[in-house]
Amino acid sequence: MATRRYKRQSSWLHQLRSTTLNRRIIPRLLAVAGAGFLVMAGTVLWWSRDLPDPQQIQETGIGESTKIYDSTGTHLLYEIGEARRTYTSIGEISPLITQATLAAEDDQFYAHHGLDFGGILRGVILKPLSGRRVQGGSTITQQLIKNSILTPERTIRRKAKEAVLALELEQRFGKDEILEMYLNAIPYGSRAYGVEAAAQIFFGTSAKNVSLAQATILAALPQAPSYYSPYGSHFEDLKFRQEHILNRMADLNMVSKEEAEAAKSETLTFSPPHENIEAPHFVFYVKELLEEEYGERVVEQGGLRVITTLDARLQSVAEDTLKNAQERLVSQGASNSSLVAIHPVTGNILAMVGSIDYFNEDIDGNVNVSIRHRSPGSSIKPFIYAAAFEKGFAPETILVDAETDFGQGYIPKNYDLAEHGPVTMRSALANSYNIPAVKALYLVGVRTATDLAQRMGMTSLSDPDRYGLSLVLGGGEVRLVDITSAYGVFAAEGTRYPARAVLKVEDAKEVLFDATAEQPQGTQVLDPQVARLTTDVLSDNNARAAVFGTRSFLQLGSRPVGAKTGTTQDSRDGWTIGFTPSLAAGVWVGNNDNSPMGKGAAGSNTAAFLWNTFMKGALDGTPIEQFTKPAPLPDTAHGILRGQIREVKGKWVSETNTLYTNECPVAQGQPRTLKELHSILFYVRRTNPLGDPPARAEADPQFNNWEAGIAQWRDKHNEKNKDVAEEPLYFGSLPEPSCNVGSEEELPKVKIIEPNTTVLRDSPTQVTVEIDSPHRLREVRFVLDGQEIARKGPDGTHSATITFDKNFSGRKTLIVMAITENNFIGQAHRTFIINPDDSSPTITIHTPQNNLTLAETNFPYTVKVTAKDSSGVDFVDMLYIKEGQPGTKRIARTNTQAPTAPDRYEAVWQDSPGLGTYTVYAVAYDKTGNFTESERHTVTIK
């Protein structure tokens, strides 16, 4: 009871205090409100004192044209101006247009008094609370004020002034008059001001005669005239907005649902644009950027002078490249192509060709494909491997290219439908093998890969859960301009300079934006070593030779260049993107309607030709630049990361799965190399490849899938190559080579007794051997220089005949093998000198010169020798002796003549042997066993 009484007393006291407080506060609030009302009223009177009449509103809508220039600021690309406008009364405008406009912009127009307080509430309160974009409360009356009188500055003062003027305008004019002024004042794009001009420009008809479909298209444009332009690159978005307006009209009972659906299906025919314009796709791309920043009215009427990043020469090279290849593309089933060129260390867009021909309606030429989202195919792979290098894997890391079920029936195939077995990441990326790429993505993680791609500029790859492992084969979508810019990050050694198109913007009064004064500041988004590793792979012409050959369109001769192709499913898109240190360029080829190209129209056959042609033209006459080589990678305990897998060599008997050592004296088995082959998951943990090996490799979700695919490949490979000595055999577990064949005393003893010389001048010559064997012989083989010349049975005389051409001069080695019935082998060999001459070779050492002093920095150093002999020089040894130390060491042995001079032999002395004094000389050996030593030169290394 006491508690309840206390609560009641507290409530009573609270009410008393509140009543007292209210008596004090309410008068003050009323005073403040009154003062605010007076201030607002004064503001209204001040701001609305010069409110123009309807005709004045129309006249304020036209201003000075905007001029867009190339990077020099002297070459005019396009002039935005010369506005077209025809004032039309509301009675001469189709009701379909007025209804569509109201449905699109302000369906409560005839109910409010200039302001939509519900919309203001959504924009001011709900937007901050939800963190989402919420439709604001700008009415048609406010938009008329904004487009006709006020500047587009985004300030509270301007918004407040807009609201006050909207209220005043509603007091002065009727609703139909305001709507009439609005429909005659707003920009519709393509220099059309007012709905009559827009109807004439886009449809070639008057505003009173448009169809429902045409009316809703016109109503859709004012929200973003450049973006939604039917001559631009976002027609699908324009159609989507049109259909939204039709649905809204049906909901408001302005039209029936049947009429709305019919309008959605109506085929729209637009009048062809007639523009005096250069680089049109780039120009309208810039125009969109300007409108986003400054608003449509300022861009259309503000008299801006805009200097862009465009290089007029490169733009011309790009346009000519695409136009000149049009017939070639058509023969490959492609109607269109697009090209973007970017400077990697500024981000400047140097060239942008959105399609082969902007004015060709048959190919939707007005669409700027370079800013459309398309599947990149394999051109995304470098970013996956870069993420792998970032994680600790390396270009020499071995992955197994074997058909693999990655789960849920996902079994990717290579473009050539073949399996290539163990390959390095270098080879897998350079040759664009698909299966290793999927494995690399799994090792990296899809989210890690997309995070890296977004850091490098491909912001559209933002949904890793949707892509899955198919991301590496083009499962996401990117824009050509973005992926070209991202390749530029490799060229800039890991620093990202976002793609930019505008350098300077100014009007008659002031400079609004200026990026010409300073070098842009990039952001380091990738470790320089990782960028260099990736570039080293992409520029390795030999590494991609297995698929592309050494003379493909992906190389520029002596000029280093990194490049990668991409092809999407059914050849719907062909890509090639590549870079030098100062130029990144990307090419897309395909059809705008996403229909497949012809069979075999891969990026390497379509886009690569255009890319190669452009790069050669763009770089003609410029210095050849070199990429920075990556630093040597540190050693690791896991050999597979550096391209090493366990192997043994020996004599392999496939029938019994027995491996004898190579030295084992048995007749069975073929000399082979056996290698251990597992998935990389067997050796390293994908979460930490440089750390300890996995305790339970089978715990990885993909381990069994990968091992199963590799086991099947091992079996197929070994069966196919069981008799091919040059091919290694692969096993999950290597056998240990052994030689369990008894003691040395059990082997046959073989001795060559005739001839008793090593010099032969007569052909034929009979060779006889003597054999003493504790076991019965099965056969005796005579092998001369690797070729069997005779095989004898166990009994009788063991001899064979050596024959040679009487003009032959040189050496031949004979091996005689005695093989017992229990497969023990005894052998003897002798090297014969055939028709030796009586002269020895002559030899002269040229470098190093006698008494020469070298520094350790002079190494590697080339030793040059001239050697001759009538029978031919067999080889030359280049040797040195260090003063005060015993023994002779070899610099090199060579039998290859240098191309610089006849009889010249050269070898590179790679590393300095240390400080001190050395004697350097050479020895030449002829084909018949004679040899001659050169003079000796003294060399001092300091």
Helix, strand, coil percent content, the chain, rounded in steps of 5: 35, 25, 40
Report the percent of the chain where pLDDT is more than 70.
89
pLDDT at 442 over 80: yes
H/E element, 805: none
Residue 491: CB atoms within 10 Å: 26
pLDDT tier at 119, thresholds 50, 70, 90: low
pLDDT at 5 over 80: no
Residue 35: CB atoms within 10 Å: 10
Query: Among 15-29, 240-254, 646-660, 894-908, which is the least confidently predicted range?
Result: 15-29
CA dihedral 677, 679, 680, 682 (to 10 degrees): -90
pLDDT at 473 over 90: no
pLDDT digits (tens, 9 = 90+) for 804-846: 988 888 888 999 999 988 888 888 989 888 888 778 889 999 9
pLDDT digits (tens, 9 = 90+) for 681-736: 999 999 999 999 999 999 999 999 999 999 999 999 999 998 898 999 999 999 99
Catalytic residue flag (residue 243) = no
Query: Among 95-99, 475-479, 928-932, which is the least confidently predicted range?
Result: 928-932
pLDDT for position 16 = 36
Q: Residue 27 is encoded by which pair of tokens?
A: 């008068």
How far is Cα 638 from Cα 645, in angstroms, rounded to an integer?
9
pLDDT for position 13 = 36
pLDDT at 125 over 50: no
pLDDT at 254 over 50: yes
pTM of model > 0.75: no
DSSP 92: G
pLDDT tier at 536, thresholds 50, 70, 90: very high
How far is Cα 368 from Cα 366, in angstroms, rounded to an integer?
6
pLDDT tier at 61, thresholds 50, 70, 90: very low
pLDDT digits (tens, 9 = 90+) for 288-306: 999 999 988 788 878 899 9
CA atoms within 13 A of residue 518's CA, in its CB half-sphere: 5
Report the percent of the chain where pLDDT is more than 90.
57
Q: Residue 237 is encoded by which pair of tokens?
A: 């978005």
pLDDT at 39 over 80: no
pLDDT for position 836 = 81
Burial (0-12, 13-18, 19+ Cβ within 10 Å), 7: exposed
Q: Does 44 or 645 have the greater pLDDT score?
A: 645
How far is Cα 783 from Cα 804, in angstroms, rounded to an integer?
14
H/E element, 830: strand 825-834
Cβ proximity of 351 and 310 under 8 Å: yes
Q: What's the whole-number average pLDDT of the chain?
A: 87
pLDDT digits (tens, 9 = 90+) for 741-790: 767 788 899 999 999 888 888 899 999 999 999 999 999 999 998 888 99
pLDDT for position 131 = 42
Q: Does 27 or 545 have the greater pLDDT score?
A: 545
pLDDT digits (tens, 9 = 90+) for 488-519: 999 999 999 999 999 999 988 899 999 998 88
How far is Cα 376 from Cα 268, in angstroms, rounded to an integer?
31
pLDDT tier at 160, thresholds 50, 70, 90: confident
Query: Catalytic pick from 71, 375, 378, 934?
Result: 378
Beta strand residue intervals within 241-383, DSSP E: 305-308, 336-342, 349-353, 373-374
Residues in a beta bridge with 252: none
pLDDT at 20 over 50: no
CA distances 899 to 558, 906, 925, Å, are 20, 10, 20
pLDDT for position 6 = 32
Query: Catalytic pick from 71, 94, 105, 190?
Result: 105
Strands 852-854 vs 937-941: parallel, antiparallel or unpaired:
parallel
pLDDT at 8 over 50: no
How far is Cα 537 from Cα 382, in angstroms, rounded to an integer?
9
pLDDT for position 43 = 55
Strands 84-85 vs 192-193: parallel, antiparallel or unpaired:
parallel
Q: Does 792 or 166 have the greater pLDDT score?
A: 792
| CA-derived radius of gyration, the chain | 41
Catalytic residue flag (residue 105) = yes
pLDDT for position 113 = 81
Residues in a beta bridge with 523: 496
Residue 310 amino acid letter: L
